[in-house]
């Protein structure tokens, strides 16, 4: 079963409130978070994660992350998620389209105690951008 840090973070990201997400990040992410993904503006650690989520919440205010599978082993949690949302704000230079998106992602989180210390992720950006009309079908 995932730890309380995982549960707290998952509940926060589905709140739709950037302040709640930022507070949860402060509570459940280590200050030295290692984020194995391209992050905007050269940020790292918790600040990078906060920027990712504030960007997503501005673009998709109704974003929902539904966890389909969770696998835990040792200090790691692997999640397979389905993400849904409506494009109502600027995203990657695109003005709002009003289109709904549904895409998949897989994340591996490494914990130190109850706090997330390292993140790896694979997000189906191709599907997301295709649904927004930024890429051809």
Directed axis angle between helix 45-59 and helix 18-28, to 10°?
160
pLDDT one-digit tens code per residue, 72-86: 999 999 999 999 999
Q: What is the pLDDT of residue 44?
A: 78
> Residue 107: how many CA atoms within 13 Å on its side-chain side?
20
Tell me the domain boundaries of the chain.
4-131
- 23 token code pair: 């507070």
One DSSP character per residue, 58-124 reads HH-TT-EEEEEEEEEETTEEEEEEEEEEE--S-BTTBPP---EEEEEEEEEEEEETTEEEEEEEEE-
- 41 token code pair: 């503006």
Of 87 and 48, the one with more pLDDT: 87
Of 1 and 28, the one with more pLDDT: 28
Q: What is the pLDDT of residue 9?
A: 87
The mean pLDDT value for 101-126 works out to: 94
pLDDT one-digit tens code per residue, 13-70: 999 999 999 999 999 999 999 988 766 666 778 998 999 999 999 999 999 999 999 9
CATH class (in words) of the domain with range 4-131: alpha beta
Q: What is the pLDDT of residue 137?
A: 78
Q: Is the pLDDT of residue 89 over 80?
A: yes
Q: What is the pLDDT of residue 2?
A: 60
Q: What is the pLDDT of residue 69?
A: 96
Q: What is the pLDDT of residue 5?
A: 78
Q: What is the pTM of this model?
A: 0.90
């Amino acid at each position: 079963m995932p730890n309380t840090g995982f549960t707290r973070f998952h509940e926060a990201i589905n709140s739709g409130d950037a302040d709640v997400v930022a507070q949860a990040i402060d509570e459940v992410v280590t200050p030295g978070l290692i984020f194995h993904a391209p992050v905007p503006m050269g940020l790292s650690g918790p600040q990078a994660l906060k920027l990712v989520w504030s960007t997503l919440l501005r673009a998709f205010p109704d974003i929902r992350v539904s966890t389909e599978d969770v696998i835990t082993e040792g200090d790691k949690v692997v999640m397979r998620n389905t993400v849904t949302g409506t494009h109502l704000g600027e995203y990657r230079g695109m003005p709002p389209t009003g289109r709904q998106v549904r895409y998949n992602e897989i994340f591996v989180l490494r914990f130190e105690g109850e706090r997330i210390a390292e993140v790896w992720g694979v997000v189906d950006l191709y599907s997301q951008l295709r649904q927004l009309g930024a890429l051809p079908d």
